[in-house]
Amino acid sequence: MAAAVTEWFRANRRELPWREVDRRTGRRDPYRSLVSEFMLQQTQVSRVIERFGRFIERFPDVGALAAANEEDVLAAWAGLGYYRRARLLHAAAREIVARFGGRVPEDVEDLRTLPGVGRYTAGAMASMVFGRAEPLVDGNVVRVVLRVEGWEGAADDRGAVGAVWARAEELVRASESPGEFNEGLMEVGATVCGPGAARCGECPLARMCVARRLGVQGSIPRAKKAAVRRRVVHWCALVRDGRGRVLLERAPAGALWAGLWRLPTWEGSRVTGAELGARLGVGALEFAGEVKRQLSHRTVRLRLFRGTSGVRAVTGRKWVRVTDLERVGVSNAHLAAIALAMTAGGSDGKTD
């Protein structure tokens, strides 16, 4: 199995910016790989491709990232969502400088001491960058291994996932090229053995796949229990001045998108446009629409009100040019809210 996956991966791998091999060292750059692993944890490859180059340009090495302030890191992360990862990556860079002399550690146990680096990321770095025979398991690997072995279980079933880790370890230990095998197994799951349709005719594992032989690909893994999401409503005010600027505030610690800039926001019980205006010291605001976002554990509705004002920004708030919004670090949800409130109003229902 390991040989089939490795051979297939060599012929079918997608060219991605973080897969480039450094000619001097003959391997991937550990810092770039670490950044890409953090970005890819909960974000699609296509979106990471759009943001990765810009982030590396802004912070070209681990020292530059460690020395940066948090606001700049969050701004460079804007558009990727799940901002906790940006903070953890920042903290990891500081630890690498403080404890490892600025070199990303090669050993799995050392890697796992870094903030935000769990078993998967440590295995990915150790195998794909440093060539060590360490396993990794992500959602793609769980699906492929369960199907190839014909094992039942849901993708979030601890017993099933534990069995997949054990199998992944056996396989990577038997592989001649641990990094290519691990990455190949994930790539099979990402491009051939998808969660919806399995394209068995193109799969390097077809000959040994139990699920294919039994015709049960569609029912492995078993469906997960639906996540219960809490519903929250945020009341947001878009206030503009006459100079193409909008009033923003910093989301406080513990709030959604903490540390990023957002429209002045209140959470909780219903607020009218007149009340929002009074809280900001401006006239009554008019309703402008709603933006809805599905996050991992909650559904957030941003109820938008808008108006214009000549007020000065008070402490904790500032005026920002509309053209600078992406640069200062505003969440995708609030960027969408601003765009909506500045146009005709209405609603969207995208997932962030």
Number of residues counted as binding ligand SF4 (CB under 6 A):
15
Does residue 155 interact with ligand SF4 by CB under 6 A? no
Among 205, 271, 320, 338, binds ligand SF4 (CB under 6 A): 205
Does residue 209 interact with ligand SF4 by CB under 6 A? yes
Q: Least separation, in Å, of the C-beta of 37 and ligand SF4? A: 24
Q: With CB under 6 A as the contact rule, which of the stretches 2-10, 99-107, 199-207, 265-273 interacts with ligand SF4?
A: 199-207
Q: With CB under 6 A as the contact rule, which of the stretches 3-11, 22-30, 203-211, 332-340 interacts with ligand SF4?
A: 203-211
Between CA 247 and CA 266 the distance in angstroms is: 14
Residues 21-50 touching ligand SF4, rule: CB under 6 A, are none
DSSP 239-289: EE-TTSEEEEEEPPTTSTTTTSEES-EEESS---HHHHHHHHTSSPPEEEE
Q: With CB under 6 A as the contact rule, which of the stretches 62-70, 202-210, 256-264, 309-317 interacts with ligand SF4?
A: 202-210
Binding mask 88-127 for ligand SF4 (x = CB under 6 A): ----------------------------------------
Between CA 320 and CA 301 the distance in angstroms is: 23
55-58's contacts with Cβ under 8 Å and 24+ in sequence apart are 56/32
Q: Does residue 37 carry a catalytic annotation?
A: yes
Does residue 1 interact with ligand SF4 by CB under 6 A? no
Between CA 313 and CA 55 the distance in angstroms is: 30
Nearer to ligand SF4 (CB atom), residue 199 or residue 327: 199
Binding mask 127-146 for ligand SF4 (x = CB under 6 A): -----------------x--
Q: Which of 81, 100, 136, 95 is nearest to 335 (CA)?
A: 81
Q: How far are the Cα atoms of 169, 250, 310, 311 from residue 318, in angstroms, in the given order?
A: 52, 9, 13, 11
Are the beta carbons of 282 and 317 closer than 8 angstroms? no
Nearer to ligand SF4 (CB atom), residue 142 or residue 144: 144
Between CA 280 and CA 284 the distance in angstroms is: 10
Binding mask 166-195 for ligand SF4 (x = CB under 6 A): --------------------------xx--
Among 4, 206, 258, 282, binds ligand SF4 (CB under 6 A): 206
Q: Least separation, in Å, of the C-beta of 38 and ligand SF4? A: 28
Are the beta carbons of 334 and 259 closer than 8 angstroms? no
Between CA 213 and CA 148 the distance in angstroms is: 9
Question: Which residues contribute to the site for ligand SF4 (CB under 6 A)?
Answer: 144, 147-148, 192-193, 198-200, 203, 205-206, 209, 211-212, 217
Name the residues annotated as catalytic.
37
